[in-house]
Amino acid sequence: MLKEIKIYFKFIKMHILSGLEYKGWWMMCVQTVFIVITDPISVLLLFSRFGGIGEWTMERILLIYALAVASFGLAESFCRGFDYFPWKMIQSGDFDRLLLRPHSLFTQVAGSYFHLHRLPRPITGIIAVIWLLSRMNVPFSPLNFIILALALAGGVLTYTGVFIMTSGLAFFTIKGLDWIYIFTNASYQVTRCPIDYMPKLLKNAFTFFMPMLVISYYPASAVCGWGEPVFTGFLALPAGVAFLGFSVAIWKVGVRHYKSTGS
């Protein structure tokens, strides 16, 4: 296990060094920051024009959104290989090369891609969380720090699970599934909608099927005291672990059913 972790970080190091060779890498980082900052601009304009929606203020919405963005950004940065897997390895047959190497398939796929310009997304999200908590006068107590740390960890596992599940399904479809982006890129956009006004079907889907609200809304509620039981703020990590385990199981089934392009 330790050996595989070392190999993974060697992959990441190589990707970082190769990315730095591109002289315009910093411009791509600036572009990512610009996108993250301007993405919720519609929410800002809405609240600045009409004020709050019931008990929901702009800070509430942005805090939940920032937690989701930070989690997604970390998963996207460090497990990018699974996001690219259906297009880059299944259709091209490159997965055959991975099967011949004496290392974990999971490590090889996870470390196969790393884009340096993706890192500003989680960094910006974390900075936004800290700023919003300060703006809402929420104390940075040890308990709140633990809840938020567990939320980020659970969020990373959840979004990594989505990427892995997509890769597992690709063994049967032989191509990427565009609808799966509802649960990745589109899912953290859902957090911009107040949960009280969210359709029940959508709320249940992102709570019990894919726990996107468990890793964003409930930790924020526990930290800020929005009426939800405090223990729900600690559910992010176990929910992330459970969903990741489910996704890994799908991945393993897919690997067992893989037919080489040369067979």
pLDDT digits (tens, 9 = 90+) for 126-166: 998 999 999 999 988 999 999 999 999 999 999 899 888 88
Question: Quick one: CA dihedral 130, 204, 77, 245, positive or negative?
Answer: positive
Cβ 36 vs Cβ 121: under 8 Å: yes
Residue type, 70: A
d(CA 234, CA 13): 33
Within 10 A of 1 (CB to CB), how many other CB atoms are there? 7
Residue 1 has pLDDT above 80, yes or no: no
Q: What is the pLDDT of residues 11-51, one digit of tens each?
A: 778 777 777 777 777 787 787 778 777 777 777 777 777 77
Structure tokens at 94: 């490159």
User: Which range has highest mean pLDDT (89-98, 179-188, 191-200, 242-251)?
Assistant: 242-251
Q: What is the pLDDT of residues 205-263, one digit of tens each?
A: 888 888 989 999 999 999 998 888 889 999 999 999 999 999 999 988 988 887 765 55
Cβ 200 vs Cβ 116: under 8 Å: no
| pLDDT for 179 | 67
Q: How confident is the model at residue 176 (pLDDT cuts 50, 70, 90)?
A: low
